[in-house]
């Protein structure tokens, strides 16, 4: 199958760092996306990785290792507003069009 | 604001009924995607259209259908509704059907009673 695995929930303190891991099946991999979703709201695009390495965007960074089928999203200097679900989504090359397969999401709770 | 619009925002209807959800993609985007998100299922891909043609199908029930019109807006039709169809339905759009990220609309919350 094309399972995308990520932890269900994580808790961290304001100002700290949290790393959210995502693992996926490597066969047919053609890009990985991270989205942020606040409860009841639309997912918003955070980052895209298709080559190995680290992509940094302000307080958020995303890393990809294609050979290991592994990515992580790093949230630095956590703020209360970062409390949300973080969705890992993978595009598989055999999928028609631009179909993404989403993981179940990781709910991050930031405490004061 | 992603630029993707969806109507209605909320919809409450009874079992057995039929509803239509509407989506307008971002200006210039040719691809439209429909997703269903329920509490216990996460975000599930339903169907994709590109420039009026169906491109990919996911876990879409036979009771559900969609289309994309010449002006690129899309409609998702849900019929013979069941309690289990209660969910958030998101529409997303992207510029092409290749590598582009998808931008999500605010969603339609459907409640079937």
Tell if the CB–CB gap between B94 and A98 is shorter than 8 Å.
yes
Tell if the CB–CB gap between B101 and A45 is shorter than 8 Å.
yes
* Cβ atoms within 10 Å, residue A81: 8
**Nearest one of A92, A33, A27 to A62, comparing CA atoms:** A33
User: What number is the average pLDDT over the span A41-46?
Assistant: 94
Tell if the CB–CB gap between B55 and A96 is shorter than 8 Å.
yes
CA atoms within 13 A on the CB side of A29: 24
> What is d(CA A32, CA A6) in angstroms, rounded to the nearest whole number?
13
> What is d(CA B81, CA B61) in angstroms, rounded to the nearest whole number?
11
B101 in contact with A, Cβ within 8 Å: yes
**Nearest one of A95, A29, A105, A108 to A67, comparing CA atoms:** A29
Burial of B45 (0-12, 13-18, 19+ CB in 10 A): buried
Tell if the CB–CB gap between A50 and B99 is shorter than 8 Å.
yes
B10 in contact with A, Cβ within 8 Å: no
**Nearest one of B103, B101, B111, B81 to B9, comparing CA atoms:** B111
**Residues of chain B found within 8 Å of residue A8, distances taken between Cβ atoms:** none
**Residues of chain B found within 8 Å of residue A44, distances taken between Cβ atoms:** 2, 104
B103 in contact with A, Cβ within 8 Å: yes
Distance from CA of A33 to the nearest CA of B (A): 8
Please give the pLDDT value at position A99: 76
pLDDT score of B113 more than 80:
yes
Task: Identify the helix (H) or strand (E) that includes residue B108.
Answer: strand B108-112
| CA terminus-to-terminus distance, chain A | 40
Looking at A13-17, A26-30, B85-89, B108-112, which range is the least confident one? Answer: A26-30
Tell if the CB–CB gap between B43 and A105 is shorter than 8 Å.
yes
Please give the pLDDT value at position B98: 57
Strand bridging mode B10-13 / B108-112: parallel
What mean pLDDT, rounded, does chain B reach?
93
Please give the distance of CA B57 from its chain centroid, rounded to a whole number. Answer: 12
pLDDT score of A76 more than 80:
yes
Looking at A70-84, B2-16, B98-112, which range is the least confident one? Answer: B98-112
Strand partners, B78: B19, B64
């Amino acid at each position: 199958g094309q399972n995308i695995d990520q932890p269900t929930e994580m808790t961290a303190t304001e100002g700290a760092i949290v790393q959210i891991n995502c693992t996926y099946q490597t066969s047919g991999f053609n890009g990985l996306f991270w989205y942020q979703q606040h409860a009841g709201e639309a997912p918003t695009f955070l980052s895209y990785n298709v080559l190995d390495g680290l992509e940094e965007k302000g307080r958020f960074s995303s890393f990809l290792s294609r050979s290991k089928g592994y990515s992580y999203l790093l949230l630095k200097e956590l703020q209360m507003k970062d409390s949300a679900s973080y969705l890992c989504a993978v595009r598989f090359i055999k999928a028609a069009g631009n179909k993404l397969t989403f993981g179940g999401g990781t709910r991050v709770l930031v405490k004061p | 604001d992603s630029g993707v619009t969806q109507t209605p925002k909320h919809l409450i209807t009874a079992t057995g009924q039929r509803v239509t959800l509407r989506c307008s993609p971002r200006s210039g985007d040719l691809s439209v995607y429909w997703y269903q998100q329920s509490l216990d299922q996460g975000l599930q891909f339903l169907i994709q259209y590109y420039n009026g043609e169906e491109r990919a199908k996911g876990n879409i029930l036979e009771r559900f259908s969609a289309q994309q019109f010449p002006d690129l807006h899309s409609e998702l039709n849900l019929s013979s509704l069941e309690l289990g169809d209660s969910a958030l339905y998101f529409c997303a759009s992207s510029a092409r059907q290749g590598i582009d990220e998808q931008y999500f609309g605010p969603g339609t919350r459907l409640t079937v009673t």
